[in-house]
Structure 1
Amino acid sequence: MQLTSFLLLLVIFSLPLQMQALERAEGRALLQWKETLSNTDGVLDSWSLSNFKNICNWTGITCNTAKYVSKMNLSGYNFNLTGTLHNFGFVSFPNLSHLVLSNNSFSGSIPSAIANLTKLTFLDLSLNYFESSIPLGITKLTRLRYLNLDGNNLNGTIPNQISHLHNLQHLDISFNLFGGQLSESIFSNLSKLQSFHCRLNFFQGPFPTNFTSLSMLKIIELYDNHFYGIIPQEVSRLTNLIDLDLGRNNFWGAIPPQIGNLNNLEKLCLESNHFSGPMPSAFGNLTNLINLLLAHNNLSTTLESLLLCNFNSLGVLDLSRNNLRGPLPQSLWNFSKNLWFVDFSRNKFEGTIPGEFAEKNNLKFINLKGNHLGGPLPRGLLNCSILEVLDVGNNKLVGSFPHWLDVLSHLEVLILRSNRFYGTVGTSNTKCPFPKMRIFDISHNEFTGALPRYYLENFEWMQNESATDDYIMLSPDDYIDLVLKTTEHPVQTYHLFRFLDFSNNHFHGEIPESIGKLHYIRFLNLSHNQLIGNIPSWLGNLSNLEALDLSSNQLVGKIPEQLATLTFLAVLNLSYNHLVGPIPHGPQFNTFNNDSYLGNTALCGFPLTIQCQGSNNRSQPQTPAPNGEEDSGNFEGGFGWRSVVIGYCSCMPFGIFVGYLAFLYGRPKWFVRLVAPVRTLRNKK
């Protein structure tokens, strides 16, 4: 009895010593790891020997009541840590439950020794540069409820042992290089799983049927992979689902009407697949929908089956690039007070644009481009006081220029391209019209008169540098089609672009000096008009200009030497005018070929074969194109811009645009950080 009491007292008195020993082990492990890290910028100064007795007060460290390290959060831009996890000292933290290292610059593989963190419930290693495969050590963390590996360079397949994480509720492996099929066994024991994200990888195979047995699932995000086949009807079993994102894959067949049984669904993204046939009338049961994204499929019939009147919570409606036809419903703009994004572009809708817009509506994006819509623009658009983008290009609209739109002070993109508008564009009763205009495209119409000096003088966001910081990031499948020569270049953010396109009209007179104030304009197209006079030398002040097309006008005189100072100029077309004299020399001018100067018989110098006066080398002058014949080769018809603003889940060529391949194969960190905060853009009103 006495021996038992003695041993008990010995254990009691030894506990403080054990606690101190563990504290010292944790502190030493943190200091040793810190020595291997760089770019800490002083944020880990509290991790020091002088403060060794207070590790619970160290930056990013949280202790439990026993003063053991229980949470470590080194996430965010304030840290920007660079290093690996191989010197972390996993065995030194037996009580660690939360480890958050997201949004740093960690690299290398994830060590299998992570299995020593047996009490870990929350692991976030997202937005780093971790590579190699998922270590089996992670699959031994059976208490894990949250696992986020998003935005790294991890590859290989997903190990079947992930099924051992039977407490897992959230799994995010998006923005990596994973491939292969998602084995059915992976999800066999994940009965508590509520969200699964694997967007932007290389997975393939059919829709994982085991999903349909996970009754607690709320989010399935398979966006931008190589999944294929039909969507099984059993998806209707997932009655708790609020987000179903299957966009940018290779699914085909009819959209299963059973999706209409998912009454809690708030986001449905099926865009950029091969779905065909009509939209199920059962969609009318999805009364909680906020985002409906069906773009870029082969859906047909009219909008009647969609029962828009039931979607009174809808904010984003994207049906673009399908085969939908018939008239637009008169209630289109008013069935939901939350509606802010509408894209019906590239369909076969006909009739007129509905003109009933409720006052103080939330509409910001309207894209009706590429249909068969006729009649005038409805004046009800004046009720869209926060409208930012209006694209009605490539239709059959008629009427004079809608000057009344210039009171919409938030309008940034106006596309009237390829319609039947006519008359002058030069008058306005608004004091500061279109102050935020970035993209103004009225090309391929029947406008006449002089170029609109008053509007040009008031395009403040083309004049001021401060405007470049204020932009809207479109979601991955939202982009502007910039058409240079004959090639479309999709660009995801239109804040980068300031451009004017007045081409293919009947404008006359000289190029107004007010264009010279647009210091941040990057693309200017005045081609195929009847402009006269000299090319102004002040165009050389537009230092951001990347493309200039003045072709097929009546311009005379010399090419100003000042244009040679435009160091960003990549596209130049001065063909079919009456220009004379030598072609300027400069870093950019030396890259342009003969096509830039066709039809100007009195020009000389490189790259033409006609040498200027004083040279012994002469050849025959170029022959101008016959009357009525347009520019040939790369500049046929001049160059223009087409704008498409398309909504969805995040549900991108995020296939995605020009940087897509670079992103997947070693993505630049700035790009990952730029995209991650806007993944849920379409969930805003």
Structure 2
Amino acid sequence: MGSSMLCFSCTSFVLNVIYILLFLTLFRFSFSQPVCRDEERSSLLQFKESFITDYSASDEPHAYSKVAFWTNKEESRDCCMWHGVECDEITGHVISLNLSSSYLYGSLDSNSSLFNLVHLQILDLADNDFNYSQIPNAIKRLSKLTYLSLEDSFFSGQIPSEVSELSKLLQLSLCNNIDPFGKSLLELKKPIFESLTSNLTSLEELFLNNVYISSTVPKSLANLSSLTSLFLRDCHLKGEFPVDIFQLPNLQYLSVRFNEDLSGRLPLVLNQRSSLKSLLLSGTRFYGDLPSPVEKLASLTEFKASGCNFSRAILSSISKLNQLTFLDLSENNLSGTLNFDMFIILKNVTVLVLSQNKLSLIFSSWINENFPQFTVLHLSCCNLRTFPHFLMHQKNLQILSFVGNSLIGELSSAICNLSSLKVLLLSNNKLGGELPHCFGKFSKLVSIVDLSNNSFSGNIPEFTKGNQLKIINLGYNQFEGKLSKSLTHCKMLRYLNVESNKLNDIFPYWLGTLPELIILQLQKNEFRGVIEEPRTNLHFPKLRIVDISYNNFFGKLPLKYIQSWKTMRSTSLVDSNYMMTIPFQTRSTSINVNYSYYMMITPFQIRAKNSLLTYLHYLDITIAIKGIRIHYEKIQNIIAVLNLSNNKFDGEIHKIIGNLVGLHALDLSNNLLKGGIPTSLTNLTKLESLDLSQNSLLGEIPSDLDHLSFLQYFNVSYNNLSGPIPHTHLITFDSSFYEGNLGLCGILLQNLCGALEQPLPSYEEERNSPFQFGWKVVAVGYGCGFLIGWFIGKVVIARKPNWLVETFSIRG
């Protein structure tokens, strides 16, 4: 009994102590909550009112307008409780402002109330749209800042020297301020790079990706002993990279990728205390042997050195890093024979890229289950003849590329066992036979399939419902029969290429139901017949590039389709999400338009929310027209191309084509078209290539076509055109582009236009003219003057061919 009472008494005492402590904690907490200061609340509200909410100002899927919840209402006046705001617990001053991904749109200048918050230690304005504002000089007023992020927010111009006065900064991020076409907006010239960092001696993280620096890398960076992250991607850096930077004791992440004028060597000896985890050198001129000291980097997890000038690889020594997860040595000058079994030791490698070197890979003849479980494997141009056996045991493989090898035989049905596969690239090999029956349904995760430039035959396989296919390239094979209507199950399909096969079918109007289709290539097949009016409610709603050339289509031009292609009638940027680089490319060789698609692989990011691989693909386009190559990089959704050439279309070129104002290339050559060139084509102000040759067109070349200043190729040869060639821009093209038109005249051709070529009046007309005598004198004088002038002009041009250009801004 006594014992029980004692236990109860002890328990009661303990509970009382806990209650007292909880009460004291709550009491202290209630009095330690900071209260917003009136002047800082006012500054925050003024800052809010100076911007509007624009939901296109952020690409972050979890973005929301933090300032939307800021209010002066009594119940919510405490700014320390507002979204994105943090106050000092004692003083109540605002010390942190995180407005990243807040849909802010507007300009920021030195008069902004933001700079009244002089106690700020953290300022994050990333992922907004500040409308090409310059970074205000008033930034120096925030002298207590330790963290400043203005990345990806459309700031432009020179980075002010006042940034270098923020001597307490630990992290500075000004990266990825680029326009919709990928051009750098921020630049670092005055102050120069070295001046910016000279006073920032406490820096731990420096992010300047896509800042236009265009200078050498200052050696003084090697004095920043606290530096852990240095990101200088695509900054137009040049000269030799200071080798001492590799010796920084705390450096973990170093990226100087895509500075094509930056050279350097890895140091022969590395600091034994080196903690380097990520070394990114791709797209530079780093040279020498690999791995050099890389084998001593025990912490290294990511090494990217693609597109460099490394000449020799002692890859066997890399196996002494067994922490590696990402290894990319593609596009170097590495040569020799490599036994692939060495990678068995690298158990943690998930991404391996050895493409486009001079290596010859050797695989064991037995089935090996001990290889790492790759997620990305690129072994293009590695002199392979057979598929490696270890692929049968790959359970996590998402991207597989064997482009440009000498693979022979049929594609095994074992490929269907790769259940995680998203991208399959097997172009430019010697594979043949029919595709396995499981091919069209082996993985609903696959988004890209490229089997082009092989010898596959038979029918195109059936595709199942619910697939994720976005790019299908089956061009340059021997597929036959009809185009499979199961392609309508590919609801996410953006790019379909079946060029240069033996397909025999009518125009596949049913593809018009695909809501995302942007590019359709059917050229060089045996498609036939009249392209009738659309039979579906959807008529290719997003189609921008169409090539059905070199087939057997006839009848009138498909005006109903042309009228329905609304996206070709737009010149605006439709989708700016396709704007990153890291190319893994396959080019087709169509007669007019070459397409490349690139894969962006974004592995472990420094500040990312997770470390999963993400994938983004887009199309990179080169229009190649008889020797003229027009390259469009990273902006595929504003390019429009229509190629109906080398068929048997007849009738007139309807004026409705002039509504396709987004067109960059139009090719109607080698058909049976009649009538005149419609003046509505002068509406195509973006046009860079126009080919109407090899038809039966009549009449004159519309003079307003001379105003299409973007034209780089213009061909109307072998028609029945007459009249003068417009004499400003169109006479700059080669004379062969006008030949075969007996009625055409102009400075480019033998038959000159002018008064001498006009029919002379009859005798009766001359006799009855009140200007009889005067006309004769004028005619003789004009004719003699013209001949003399023409002769002198020929002499001058022969001796000084640039005289016409310099004098009249035209080319002969």
TM range (shorter): 0.7 to 0.9
Instruction: Tell me the CA shift for residue 475 of structure 1.
Output: 5.7
Separation of aligned partners in 1, 2:363 and 2:691: 46
Instruction: Tell me the CA shift for residue 607 of structure 1.
Output: 0.6
Instruction: Tell me the CA shift for residue 288 of structure 1.
Output: 0.6
1:546 aligns with 2:688: yes
Amino acid at match of 1:448: F
Amino acid at match of 1:72: Q
1:44-193 to structure 2, matched below 5 A, reads: 45-48=138-141, 52=143, 54-56=144-146, 69=168, 71-77=170-176, 80=186, 82=188, 83-87=191-195, 93=201, 96-152=203-259, 153-162=261-270, 164=272, 166-182=274-290, 184-193=291-300
Match of 2:663 in 1: 521
SS of the residue corresponding to residue 282 of structure 1 reads helix
Kindly tell me: are residues 488 and 80 of structure 1, through their superposed partners in 2, closer, same or farther at Cα, counting changes over 3 Å?
closer
- Name which of structure 1's ranges 257-266 and 577-586 shifts more when overlaid on structure 2: 257-266
Match of 1:264 in 2: 373
Match of 2:699 in 1: 557
SS of the residue corresponding to residue 451 of structure 1 reads coil
1:374-523 to structure 2, matched below 5 A, reads: 374-469=480-575, 472=578, 476=583, 477-478=585-586, 479=596, 480=621, 482-485=623-626, 492-493=633-634, 494-523=636-665
1:294 aligns with 2:417: no
Unpaired segments ≥5 residues, structure 1? 1-26, 31-38, 61-66, 619-685
Instruction: Tell me the CA shift for residue 517 of structure 1.
Output: 0.6
Instruction: Tell me the CA shift for residue 101 of structure 1.
Output: 3.8
The TM-score normalised by the length of structure 1 is 0.77
Amino acid at match of 2:242: P
Unpaired segments ≥5 residues, structure 2? 1-117, 122-131, 151-165, 178-184, 587-595, 597-620, 760-812
Instruction: Tell me the CA shift for residue 55 of structure 1.
Output: 4.6
Match of 2:427 in 1: 320
Separation of aligned partners in 2, 1:311 and 1:490: 35
Q: Deviations over 1:486-535 (max 9, x none)?
A: 67766555335311111111111111222111011111111111111111
On the 8 A contact 2:384/2:406 being kept in 1, the answer is yes
Separation of aligned partners in 2, 1:545 and 1:319: 35
On the 8 A contact 1:228/1:250 being kept in 2, the answer is yes
Separation of aligned partners in 2, 1:100 and 1:420: 54
Instruction: Tell me the CA shift for residue 484 of structure 1.
Output: 0.9
Match of 2:75 in 1: none
Q: Deviations over 1:106-160 (max 9, x none)?
A: 4543344434333433333334244332324323322322222323342132222
Amino acid at match of 2:700: K
Amino acid at match of 1:134: F
Match of 2:49 in 1: none
Amino acid at match of 1:169: K
Separation of aligned partners in 1, 2:657 and 2:554: 18
Instruction: Tell me the CA shift for residue 89 of structure 1.
Output: 6.6
Kindly tell me: are residues 108 and 583 of structure 1, through their superposed partners in 2, closer, same or farther at Cα, counting changes over 3 Å?
closer
Separation of aligned partners in 1, 2:287 and 2:638: 34
Amino acid at match of 2:138: D
Amino acid at match of 1:611: L
Separation of aligned partners in 1, 2:145 and 2:541: 55
Kindly tell me: are residues 185 and 604 of structure 1, through their superposed partners in 2, closer, same or farther at Cα, counting changes over 3 Å?
closer
Instruction: Tell me the CA shift for residue 80 of structure 1.
Output: 3.1
SS of the residue corresponding to residue 649 of structure 2 reads strand
1:41 aligns with 2:148: no
Amino acid at match of 2:229: F
On the 8 A contact 1:482/1:488 being kept in 2, the answer is yes
SS of the residue corresponding to residue 324 of structure 1 reads strand
Separation of aligned partners in 1, 2:754 and 2:133: 64
Amino acid at match of 1:406: G
Amino acid at match of 2:717: S
1:215 aligns with 2:322: yes
Instruction: Tell me the CA shift for residue 197 of structure 1.
Output: 1.0
Amino acid at match of 2:285: L
Kindly tell me: are residues 298 and 415 of structure 1, through their superposed partners in 2, closer, same or farther at Cα, counting changes over 3 Å?
same
SS of the residue corresponding to residue 186 of structure 2 reads coil
Kindly tell me: are residues 101 and 579 of structure 1, through their superposed partners in 2, closer, same or farther at Cα, counting changes over 3 Å?
closer
SS of the residue corresponding to residue 401 of structure 1 reads coil
Separation of aligned partners in 2, 1:43 and 1:264: 50
Separation of aligned partners in 1, 2:626 and 2:145: 63
SS of the residue corresponding to residue 562 of structure 2 reads helix
The TM-score normalised by the length of structure 2 is 0.65
Instruction: Tell me the CA shift for residue 414 of structure 1.
Output: 0.7
- Name which of structure 1's ranges 153-162 and 408-417 shifts more when overlaid on structure 2: 153-162
Instruction: Find 2:458's aligned residue among 327, 333, 351.
Output: 351
Instruction: Tell me the CA shift for residue 347 of structure 1.
Output: 0.6
1:611-622 to structure 2, matched below 5 A, reads: 611-612=752-753, 614-615=755-756
Separation of aligned partners in 2, 1:130 and 1:100: 14
Kindly tell me: are residues 370 and 255 of structure 1, through their superposed partners in 2, closer, same or farther at Cα, counting changes over 3 Å?
farther
Separation of aligned partners in 2, 1:481 and 1:105: 26
In our comparison, the structure showing a higher alpha carbon Rg is 2
- CA RMSD in angstroms, aligned pairs only: 3.0
Amino acid at match of 2:173: L
Separation of aligned partners in 2, 1:566 and 1:464: 17
On the 8 A contact 1:553/1:577 being kept in 2, the answer is yes
Q: Deviations over 1:294-325 (max 9, x none)?
A: 11222222211x72122111111110111111
Amino acid at match of 1:371: N
Q: Which has the higher contact order (CA 8 A, sep 6+)?
A: 1
Separation of aligned partners in 2, 1:425 and 1:614: 47
Q: Deviations over 1:342-387 (max 9, x none)?
A: 01011111111002x2212111100100001101001101111111
How many residues are matched?
568
SS of the residue corresponding to residue 221 of structure 2 reads helix
Amino acid at match of 1:283: L
Separation of aligned partners in 1, 2:218 and 2:733: 54
1:364 aligns with 2:470: yes
On the 8 A contact 1:40/1:80 being kept in 2, the answer is no
Kindly tell me: are residues 616 and 576 of structure 1, through their superposed partners in 2, closer, same or farther at Cα, counting changes over 3 Å?
closer
